[in-house]
Amino acid sequence: MLDVSRSGYYKWLARCQQPAPDTVALETAARAAHARGRESYGPKRLKTELAEMGYSMSLSAIKRLRARLGLRCRHRRRFVRTTDSNHSLPIAPNLLEQRFDGTTAPNQVWVTDITYVATDEGWLYVAAINDLFNKKIVGWAMEDHMRTELVSQALWMAVKQERPKPGLIHHSDRGSQYASHGYRQQLTQFGMVASMSRRGNCYDNAPMESFWASLKKEQVYHQHYRTRAQARADIFDYIESFYNTIRRHSSLANQSPMDFNAAFINTLKQEKI
């Protein structure tokens, strides 16, 4: 027999059973990245997140790590459309026809829609506007109603923030809010070209459907809002502190809207040198 004491053997065995320091650091980083992504990142986006933290791993290794740590994405739920397209107001033609990847710069095409969020005080209606180029939510508004003023407020915010040039395509569904005389007059005032989805075809406004799904599965469905004010604050935080600034998008090479836009601006500056 080897000349090893019983206590020495058990100390050696305990050391073998403990994870290596680098393994502990990796698992800590993975959990932090999972939380930072609000439990929405699958293997590909987690891989990018960890690579930026100094952990270069294959996709299969990332999948094994997620399984070992029990990291799973939050599940999405279905939600109901809010806008009413049963009206006799003028309808704009569908200029996009589901071509969502043709933009080459910010403020060329905006898509917009309305959804609602439950609170103990009643519904909170949310209107948002999404820039197709960088996926940034450029404008939004939240009210206890979904009259035309709601979408008008979102548009004013977007214009004030972005200052788009005339000719921007503004795409929405056929809801009466977007087809109203007042809203169409606003679009004309800002030099925007109206575009509308076909009746009952949610795929014609897929980018907005995708945003609503992200908002609800990653934030709203995991909260209980006692007041509309509480819901407003939480949705504001999601858009400004996470979606626009941190959340990685596969369509943006796993960058956030803010980082993607910054890279675009930097490229323009380099081309002028």
Give me the pLDDT at residue 138, please.
98
Sign of CA dihedral 91, 96, 98, 100: negative
Q: How are the residues of the chain apportioned to helix, strand and coil, as percentages rounded to the nearest 5?
A: 50, 15, 40
- Give start and end residues of each alpha helix (H) in 124-256: 148-162, 176-179, 181-189, 206-218, 228-238
Q: pLDDT at position 123, please? A: 96
Q: Are 76 and 91 in contact (CB under 8 A)?
A: no
Q: How far apart are CA 78 and CA 143, in angstroms?
A: 22
Query: Residue 13's pLDDT band (boundaries 50, 70, 90)?
Result: low
- Which position has the token pair 């969020």? 117
How many angstroms separate the CA atoms of 207 and 76, rounded? 16
Q: What are phi and psi of 88, to 5 degrees?
A: -110, 15
What does the pLDDT read at residue 79? 45
Residue 86 tokens, joined: 């049963």
d(C-alpha 219, C-alpha 216), whole Å: 5
Look at 168 and 5; give whichever has higher pLDDT.
168
Question: What stretch(es) of the chain map to CATH 3.30.420.10?
Answer: 109-267
Reported as a single tens digit per residue, the pLDDT across 129-160 is 999 999 999 999 999 999 999 999 999 999 99
Between 182 and 55, residue with greater pLDDT: 182
pLDDT in tens, 66-98: 877 777 776 554 444 555 555 568 899 999 999
CA torsion angle 115 118 119 122 (round to 10): 80
**In terms of Cα–Cα distance, which of 161, 158, 104, 177 is closest to 134?**
104
CATH architecture of 109-267: 2-Layer Sandwich (3.30)
Tokens encoding 51: 């690579």
DSSP secondary structure code for residue 258 in this structure: H
DSSP H or E stretch at residue 13:
helix 6-17
For residue 165, pLDDT beyond 60:
yes
Residue 61, judged by CB atoms within 10 A of its CB (0-12, 13-18, 19+), counts as: middle
Q: What crossing angle do the helices spanning 43-52 and 21-36 adopt, rounded to 10°?
A: 120
Share of the chain above pLDDT 70, in %: 85
Cα–Cα distance between 139 and 150 in angstroms, integer? 11
Q: How many residues appear in the chain? A: 273
Cβ–Cβ contacts within 10 Å for residue 30, how many?
Answer: 22
DSSP 74: P
Q: Which of 44-53, 75-84, 145-154, 204-213 has the lowest mean pLDDT?
A: 75-84
